[in-house]
Structure 1
Amino acid sequence: MMEWINDFGWILWLTVFLLLAVAEMLTLNLYFILMSVGALAALVGFLFHAPLWLQIILFAVVALATTVLIRPLALAHLRRGPADQLSNIDRLIGHQAVVLETVGTNTGLVKIGGDVWTARIRSGADIPVGAGVEVSAIEGATAIISAPSTHKASGTPATTA
């Protein structure tokens, strides 16, 4: 077995690299890709005829160093952006909506812009069809709406589903 590893260790390190790269594609957390850099370092060690124990140390040291030193910088770079930059869902908060199906604490439908959303209220009386409301939060695929605004919503007439 050791003779095979000494002759074809590059296959071992290349396989480790590819498995770690695939694991990174499945998780997207920047751990496995940095560990795969350690496998590449061990592969380079093999190509320079380093003994197996040195290849393993190269793998461990490079994987640990890249995880400790590069991962925080990469995450900071990925998260960098203006504080007021909102996701598409966050942009809906505060928008006016029209009730299409009576909205209660468990169910209902509203039209926000041109899209129909499931909706609910946190508490209080049901909101009738045609009422103008405001989106106060988005939880999953459900709009949490607040009590009717002071004016009736304009636009297309409300219909029930």
Structure 2
Amino acid sequence: MDDFIASYGWIIWLVLILLFLTIEIMTLELTFLMIAVGSIGGLVAGLFGAPWWLQLIVAAILAVLLLTVIRPPLLRRLRSGGDPARSNVDALLGLDGTVVASIGGEFGIGQVKLANGETWTARLSPITEQRTVAAGERVLVTSIDGATAVIVPVERVQP
């Protein structure tokens, strides 16, 4: 058995490296890439004539070292390049608008035209004084509840 591993160990390492790289292509988490690089270390050790058990130790130590030292900063670096622009509901939070149909009254629901040009069904936030907000008043979106903008009136500054 030792003769077989000594003669064909490099083939086993190549198969493992290809297997780990294939799995890495599907997962994209850099885990199997680090294990594949560790396997390359085992392959190199085997090419220099190291016994099979030493090849395994070299591969394991190198893989664990890469997983604990190199992978975390690489993942942070890869994920830091995300799009900083807010989108969807996040883009609406804090947006100001103008009341189109008064908010309050019997059902407490009205409509606002937001600064981005969209018209939304709106209701007053529970944290604000419940009153009728007339058409033309300025409001600020505090949250989105389904398809309804939850708003607070913007205080007018008296000159």
| Among candidates 70, 75, 88, match of residue 92 of structure 1 | 88
- Give the unaligned 5+ runs of structure 1: 97-123, 138-142, 150-161
What's the offset of the Cα at 1:29? 1.4
Amino acid at match of 1:22: T
Query: What CA deviation, in whole Å up to 9, does each residue of 1:76-104 have, x standing for no partner?
Result: 1112247x703xxx4233299xxxxxxxx
Q: Is it true that 1:64 corresponds to 2:64 in the alignment? A: yes
Q: Which residue of 2 aligns with 1:27?
A: 27
Q: Is it true that 1:6 corresponds to 2:6 in the alignment? A: yes
Amino acid at match of 2:119: G
Q: Which residue of 2 aligns with 1:145?
A: 147
What's the offset of the Cα at 1:148? 9.2
* Counterpart-to-counterpart distance in 2, 1:41 and 1:80: 30
* Counterpart-to-counterpart distance in 1, 2:38 and 2:84: 36
Contact 1:132 1:148 in 2 (8 A): no
Q: Is it true that 1:44 corresponds to 2:44 in the alignment? A: yes
Distance 1:28 1:144, change over 3 A: farther
From the CA coordinates, give the structure whose radius of gyration is larger: 2
Distance 1:91 1:47, change over 3 A: same
- The CA RMSD measured in Å over matched residues stands at 3.2
* Counterpart-to-counterpart distance in 1, 2:32 and 2:149: 48
The number of residues matched between the two structures is 109
Contact 1:133 1:148 in 2 (8 A): no
Identity across the alignment (%): 37
| Among candidates 103, 111, 119, match of residue 132 of structure 1 | 119
Q: Normalising to structure 1: TM-score of the pair? A: 0.57
* Counterpart-to-counterpart distance in 1, 2:64 and 2:56: 12
Amino acid at match of 1:18: L
* Counterpart-to-counterpart distance in 2, 1:26 and 1:20: 10
What's the offset of the Cα at 1:38? 0.6
What's the offset of the Cα at 1:10? 0.5
Q: Could you list the runs of 4 or more consecutive aligned residues of structure 1 that deviate by over 3 angstroms after TM superposition?
A: 134-137
Distance 1:148 1:38, change over 3 A: closer
* Counterpart-to-counterpart distance in 1, 2:45 and 2:119: 68
**Matched residue SS, 2:87:** helix
Query: What CA deviation, in whole Å up to 9, does each residue of 1:48-77 have, x standing for no partner?
Result: 111111100001000000000001110111
Distance 1:132 1:21, change over 3 A: same
